Structure 1
Amino acid sequence: MYPSQSAQAYEHKYGVTVPVPVPPENHIPPYTSPAMHAPPQRGLTPWSTGLCHCFDDPGNCLITCICPCITFGQVADIVDRGSCPCVASGIAYGLLLSFTGLGCLYSCLYRSKLRGQYDLEEGPLPDCLVHFCCEPCALCQEYRELKNRGFDMGIGWNANMDRQRRGVMGAPAMGAPVMGGGMTR
């Protein structure tokens, strides 16, 4: 942007420089296409396991096939960071699944939250379609992702955070393990 004619005349007459406004970094002029100025995409992380790797954890695969509300409750507790307990999330999912048959409408929201928290790739299909087409596989993949990130899925968010504070192995985002003093007599 250049100063206007009147600004140049003011500078000449009074010897004072008129500051030229600079648009903010994310400013897109109205005459250009926003697609031309889209910010570069952040690097997204791939999932630690594939959608169909359910048999990497056969115990969870079996539980999810028999009663998906258990796996969903465990995933939701970690994703919500303990704000909604595992039991409450599992019951809400189970009721929605029982009365409508569409628990995927609720669980796909948690897949999106999980992806947002860890910058995970969406994959070949949107989250809702992944859950609609293959709900058990999607829940198992989310469970494995959190487990591979260091969460003990059986104890919930609060216990995981307590373990992390105490430095117990298996807790997420821990530092180096604390070594004992060695053997004593």
Structure 2
Amino acid sequence: MGLSKDYRWSSQISDITRDPASAAWGAFCPCLLFARNVHSITDGDVSFVRACLFHLLLGGCWGTAASFVCGPIGYWFTCVPCYAAQYRRRLRQKQGLPEMPYSDFTTHFLCHPFAVCQEHREINLKQSQSVPGPGGSTIDRGPDETVTHVEAVQKMER
């Protein structure tokens, strides 16, 4: 697949402020966030439970605990980067993303929790772009605007 020179990841690997909820999941329970990513990347071919259990069995819990003591290098002593890198590669291939600034394995080896969060942000961005929805907040709309929006969506579907 040819990559555009201008296309990059939508966020930097350390850009955790863009999605604080995924950053919290990535820090405290990355197995759940990773499993959700894998389920989306594989279009449901790999179940959430299977991905989560493999992450745990390969040292996910131990790596998370070690990360609180040693920082991101806590995953250096687990097999998680080997397992996670293959799904990062599939995501990149699926969405035409460059392998930068490091290889998929190196990215997960050096900072697995951040890599999982970046992948999650990328998946969410792609899904939000493919699902039509209201342009603005629906909470601030009056009833007339909401009805107009629903009618416009129904016309597009026809």
Q: TM-score, normalised by structure 1?
A: 0.60
Matched, 1:132 2:121: no
Alignment of 1:32-181 (within 5 A): 42-43=3-4, 45-98=7-60, 101-150=78-127, 170=128, 173-174=130-131, 179-181=149-151
Q: What is the identity, as a one-letter code, of the residue corresponding to 1:49?
A: S
SS at match of 1:123: coil
CA distance in 2, matches of 1:181, 1:58: 35
CA distance in 2, matches of 1:48, 1:135: 18
CA distance in 2, matches of 1:119, 1:69: 25
Deviation string, structure 1 residues 74-110 (Cα, Å, up to 9, x no partner): 0000001001111211111111125862211101110
Q: What is the identity, as a one-letter code, of the residue corresponding to 1:139?
A: V
| Bigger Cα Rg | 1
CA distance in 1, matches of 2:131, 2:20: 27
Higher helix proportion: 2
SS at match of 2:52: helix
CA distance in 1, matches of 2:150, 2:114: 41
Greater mean alpha carbon deviation, residues 93-102 or residues 54-63: 93-102
CA distance in 2, matches of 1:122, 1:181: 43
SS at match of 1:134: helix
Deviation string, structure 1 residues 17-51 (Cα, Å, up to 9, x no partner): xxxxxxxxxxxxxxxxxxxxxxxx54252101111
SS at match of 1:180: helix
Same amino acid, percent of matched pairs: 26
* 1:54 shift after superposition: 1.3
Number of residue-to-residue matches in the alignment: 122
Q: TM-score, normalised by structure 2?
A: 0.69
* 1:116 shift after superposition: 0.1
CA contact (8 A) 2:3 2:98 kept: no
**Residue of structure 2 equivalent to 1:155:** none
